[in-house]
Amino acid sequence: MPGKQPSTDAVGHHYEFDPRAAVQHLCAADAGLARLIEVAGPFRMVIRTMHSPFEALARNIVYQQLNGTAAAAIHARVLALFGRRRLRPRDVLDAPDEALRGAGLSRNKLEALRDLAAKTLDGTVPTLARLKRMEDEQIVERLTQVRGIGRWTVEMLLMSRLGRPDVLPVGDFGVRKGFSIVYRTDGLPTPKQLTHYAERWRPYRTVASWYMWRAVELPPGALRPDE
């Protein structure tokens, strides 16, 4: 949460919470999740460095609906247009459409990047320093004003870039699928059902969500019901 001293685990991941305390809390609060944690192993969510919200969101826009290899190639070509390692808002606003489209950006992505650049310069998109002091819902409200940036995108930024402890991406297929595996539900839970159940996971819903993703990766039968 904003203002809390970050925690660093044994392999150097930086979180805004103590992951050991989070796992202990979740195991005590939810027997089904405790079984999953035992099988899936230690919490190891990677926190990626964020130099600026603009850079992180620009990368996300480029990567939307593309496989990683294709997206990385387009992102590299966009950066190459300006001869630098990091994209700046003014680069995007000043570059001709033809140059950016020639790098592989679709019309929709070009318009989204320009909107992101404009909203960064006018202050709608906060600076990194400001972002770190804001509450989760404040960040969602501000960043979803940008064309092409939805709630899920901001939730991923909160989790994997800012290391926030209590994010629950109820619209994420992997989280919902993992829930159905762990709790043996008929079909995927609705966002409302998931929200209701996950109240017991507070204030560490990020950690529980990460373990739902791990449940999807486990081999069939890895999670056995209680004897």
172 is catalytic: yes
Return d(Cα 63, Cα 72) in angstroms, integer.
Answer: 7
Residues of the chain with CATH 1.10.340.30: 53-160
Examine the pLDDT at 172 and tell me if it is beyond 70.
Answer: yes
Examine the pLDDT at 224 and tell me if it is beyond 50.
Answer: yes
DSSP code for 47: -
Return d(Cα 202, Cα 196) in angstroms, integer.
Answer: 11
Listed in sequence order, the residues at least 6 apart from 5 whose beta carbon sits closer than 8 Å to its beta carbon are none
Mean pLDDT, residues 187-213 taken together: 97
Output 174-179 pairs: Cβ under 8 A, ≥24 positions apart: 174/212, 174/213, 174/216, 175/209, 175/212, 175/213, 176/212, 177/212, 177/215, 177/216, 178/211, 178/212, 178/213, 178/214, 178/215, 178/216, 179/212, 179/215
| Percent of the chain at pLDDT exceeding 90 | 82
Return d(Cα 159, Cα 45) in angstroms, integer.
Answer: 9
Catalytic residue among 136, 172, 186, 226: 172
Which of 6-10, 14-18, 59-63 ranks highest by mean pLDDT? 59-63
The token pair at 210 is 């990460």
pLDDT score of 9: 46
Examine the pLDDT at 79 and tell me if it is beyond 90.
Answer: yes
**Fold for domain 53-160?**
Endonuclease III; domain 1 (1.10.340)
Region of poorest pLDDT, from 9-18, 151-160, 194-203: 9-18
pTM of the predicted model, to two decimals?
Answer: 0.87
pLDDT score of 5: 47
- 7: pLDDT confidence band, cut at 50, 70 and 90? low
User: CATH for 7-47+166-217?
Assistant: 1.10.1670.40
Listed in sequence order, the residues at least 6 apart from 118 whose beta carbon sits closer than 8 Å to its beta carbon are 89, 93
Number of other residues whose CB lies within 10 A of the CB of residue 114: 17
The token pair at 150 is 């939805």
Residues 15-44: tens digit of each pLDDT: 889 999 999 999 999 999 999 999 999 999
Return d(Cα 153, Cα 149) in angstroms, integer.
Answer: 6
Residues 90-139: tens digit of each pLDDT: 999 999 999 999 999 999 999 999 999 999 999 999 999 999 999 999 99
pLDDT score of 13: 53
Return d(Cα 116, Cα 110) in angstroms, integer.
Answer: 10
Examine the pLDDT at 225 and tell me if it is beyond 70.
Answer: no
| Percent of the chain at pLDDT exceeding 70 | 93
